[in-house]
Structure 1
């Protein structure tokens, strides 16, 4: 069995993803957006993309990996 890629070339490849911008975002559009794909092979993962490039690539993380990453900034 082949592991799924941890990135997609275009976030448009994630159908039905509802992208959310960080509450810390400013009006300058310098932030990241996250989504949880609801269907397809990426269901259950967390997708992250650059808010300045909504059709650009997205990185995919397990919920546990993303929680560990964001916890490092809350200390």
Structure 2
């Protein structure tokens, strides 16, 4: 996992919110699939210019699968 500035991770148009995010936008993360890598970027939707985590796509998929089981 690495920590970088969101704008260095992916262009603005690459980020998206889950369809399960709250409509009021108070508790959302955004994800960007990083082309030419096997990684995804994760950022806080309220701080688009702030920090972003970059994790392996497989680790993100495992996390999402585990959350869906809850």
TM-score interval for Structure 1 and Structure 2 normalised by the shorter chain: 0.7 to 0.9
TM-score (norm 2): 0.81
Which one has the bigger strand percentage? 2
Which one has the bigger helix percentage? 2
Extract unaligned runs of 5+ from structure 1: none
Offset, 1:38: 2.6
TM-score (norm 1): 0.76
Indicate the structure (1 or 2) with the bigger Cα radius of gyration: 1
Aligned residues: 67
Across the aligned residues of Structure 1 and Structure 2, the Cα RMSD in angstroms comes to: 1.7
Which residue of structure 2 lines up, in the alignment, with residue 62 of structure 1? 56
